[in-house]
Amino acid sequence: MTAQVFAFIPHANSRIDDAAPELAAAARQLAPGAPVTALVAGDGAGVEAVCAEAGRFFPEVWKFAAAELAYPNAELLRPLLSRVLPRGAIVLFSHNTLAMDLGPGLAVKLDAAYLPDIVAFEAPEGQVLRAVRQEFNGQVSTHVACDLSGGAVITLRAGCFAASEPLAAAGRVVDRSADAQGLAARRRFLEVVPAEVGDVDITKEEVLVSVGRGIGDKENLPVAEDLAEALGAVVSCSRPVVDAKWLDKSRQVGTSGKTVKPKVYLALGISGSFQHMGGIKGNPFIVAVNKNPKAPIFQVAQVGVVADVLEFAPVLAEAVRKAR
Amino acid sequence: MNILVCVKRVPDTAENEIEVRPDGTDIRREDLVYSVNEWDNYAVEEAIQIAERTGGTVTVATVGDADAEEVVRREMAMGAQQGLMLTDPAFEGSDGRGVAEILKAAVQRGRYDLVLCGAQADDGAGQVGGMLAALLDWPYASLVNRIEVLEGQRLRIGREIEGGNQEVSEIELPCVLSIQTGINEPRYVGIRGIRKVASVEIPALGASELGLDPSRVGRAACRVRKLDYFVPPAGAGAEILQGSPEEIAARLVDLLKAKGGLK
């Protein structure tokens, strides 16, 4: 592999994201021995701090400082990256909402392959990379093969690659801000509206009774609410429940909802997609109730019950009340 | 506003367990229930609501074989005025880039102010919308969960970003947006609605009608090849409790007590 490898550094509040050291390790795995360049875009003092921190993991850091880049607008970053990246470049991103916005179009503009949401890959043989993706919400995996000789845009699922240790010597920061001038886009960032705050704060609860699509209907919610009441817990949910407007968005656990850190998490009729599990931190005791014995949730739960939620939850609620 | 919505017929994960064929070449498709991709259904609903407010038409297009016509018809029953089948043996096996090339040709044959896609489909790649925008050189936004039509050929849009926060932007038309679930409440389609569009003629266009170079689409043009399907070896996984519901509940109560779930 002779291609140049780049890693786009996600950052917020003047700090690199936890995914940045994972990108460094993955880049080294992809192209052992090849120099890997970190790409940092931003503005002001924040971008300086981020470059310095990125330099702990990457031998070279390209800094793009411009007022327009204060907020990461994919419609500005795409022309910037198409301008500065050499032909055949391999660019790694963390698979976040920015990369999802930026990556597919960047692959077209670079005339490169696009490999989204990669969870693992093998050391390339020649120019061919074999990588692992998931389909159908994690129910099945696939191996994909990609010829890297024309370049590639690859997004990596956070937490799937071990983080790199810091380098012995800090990397060199190269100021490429001159290349970031005169960027224009037909999409203008206005503001970030914070997620609404609901009547309860699920992020502070120690015990959560969480419901998913398996609850079947809004009319069945009292089954979960009754169990939660018996346990002194609060009801949270997975995304399909919010999409169906059965519960408020403030109750949603997951990467697009709240991050919770309970002691005990009861997952009722939740399949256990990685987006949902990404919102559960602090290694809680997870109990899964699902009628599908192959649901991915049983891989991450400590204890499982293969049963219909609507039948089992009332039995459990009664047992809890008796034990009080 | 004239809107094109790109939809895909996919196995319905709410109705099916997805299993891998013993030879690993595909998932088991024999008994699968298919439906319109969930994200696309929200996109069609959003397009219909915009057209109801601003005038104009909604066209639903799909890249697929004759089986895919049922989802186009279903979305027309929701209220889309036109359907469009993009069908050709040369399209088979296209990767995301190939599908985007086909859709680009379809967009350029019409006069659309706005193209909507679902944010992702069955393969979870979430790539076609962004690639289509780049090929058209139109602005793009992904994961859109709010659309407001402004004066002067502009939209104010919200994108769903991490933590359930919403990134608000203004975007110029024409543009491509990929739609996140939950943006609206898709209307129900009854048997009567389906019947009303049952005999509507849905035009089908192939590579030659679209003026597409067949070498840019189909299996041979794929940059990313799918080698196999597999289910990763299961880890230790959960201890599955056995017994009657009452026995299981009693065991769980003990466990919950031990773990701080019952104070």
Cβ-count burial A6-34 (b if 16+ within 10 Å, e if not): bbbbbbeeeebbebbbbbbbbbebbbeee
Contact A148/B at CB under 8 A? no
In a domain, B53, yes or no: yes
Using the predicted structure, report yes or no on whether residue A285 has a pLDDT greater than 90: yes
pLDDT band at A95 (very low <50, low <70, confident <90, very high): very high
How would you write chain B as a 3-class SS string?
CCEEEEECEEECCCCCCCCECCCCCCECCCCCCEEECHHHHHHHHHHHHHHHHHCCCEEEEEECCHHHHHHHHHHHHHCCCEEEEECCHHHCCCCHHHHHHHHHHHHHHCCCCEEEEECCCCCCCCCHHHHHHHHHCCCEEEEEEEEEEECCCEEEEEEECHHHCEEEEEEECCEEEEECCCCCCCCCCCHHHHHHCCCCCCCEECHHHHCCCHHHCCHHHCCEEEEEEECCCCCCCCEECCCCHHHHHHHHHHHHHHHCCCC
Q: What rounded mean pLDDT belongs to chain A? A: 94
Contact B140/A at CB under 8 A? yes
How far is Cα A288 from Cα A318, in angstroms, rounded to an integer?
Answer: 18
CATH of the domain at B202: 3.40.50.620
pLDDT at A295 (0 to 100): 87
pLDDT in tens, B96-106: 999 999 999 99
**Whether the domain at A5-180 and the domain at A202-323 fall into the same CATH topology:** yes
pLDDT at B16 (0 to 100): 77
How far is Cα A273 from Cα A251, in angstroms, rounded to an integer?
Answer: 17
- Residues from chain A contacting residue B14 (CB–CB below 8 Å): 213
pLDDT at A9 (0 to 100): 98
pLDDT band at B155 (very low <50, low <70, confident <90, very high): very high
pTM: 0.92
How far is Cα A29 from Cα B6, in angstroms, rounded to an integer?
Answer: 37
Contact A12/B at CB under 8 A? no
CB A286 within 8 A of CB A265: yes
In a domain, B241, yes or no: no
Name, in order, each residue with C-beta under 8 angstroms of B233's C-beta and a sequence gap of 6 or more. none
pLDDT at B256 (0 to 100): 92
Question: Total domain count for chain B?
Answer: 1
- How much is the average pLDDT of B194-221? 94
Contact A167/B at CB under 8 A? no
Q: Which residue reads 């850190």 in tokens? A: A261
Which one of A115, A189, A245 has the shortest CB-CB distance to B185?
A: A245
pLDDT at B259 (0 to 100): 87
Return the domain boundaries, chain A: 5-180, 202-323
How far is Cα A225 from Cα A324, in angstroms, rounded to an integer?
Answer: 18
In a domain, B246, yes or no: no
In a domain, B244, yes or no: no
Q: Which of residues 181-220 of B touch A (CB under 8 A)?
A: 181-182, 185
User: Which segment of A261-265, B8-12, B255-259 scores lowest on mean pLDDT?
Assistant: B255-259
Q: What rounded mean pLDDT belongs to chain B? A: 94
pLDDT in tens, A131-152: 999 999 888 999 999 999 999 9
- Which of A73, A82, A135 is the mutation pick for testing B, counting most B CBs within 10 A? A135
- The yes/no answer on whether domain A202-323 falls in CATH 3.40.50.1220 is yes
Using the predicted structure, report yes or no on whether residue A1 has a pLDDT greater than 70: no
Domain that holds residue B157: 3-221
- Residue contact B143–A100, C-beta within 8 A: yes
pLDDT at B232 (0 to 100): 78
pLDDT at A251 (0 to 100): 96
Q: Which helix (H) or strand (E) holds A36?
A: strand A36-42
Q: Which CATH architecture has domain A5-180?
A: 3-Layer(aba) Sandwich (3.40)
In a domain, B231, yes or no: no
Name, in order, each residue with C-beta under 8 angstroms of A35's C-beta and a sequence gap of 6 or more. A4, A5, A59, A60
Amino acid symbol at A224: A
Amino acid symbol at B104: K
- How much is the average pLDDT of A44-68? 96
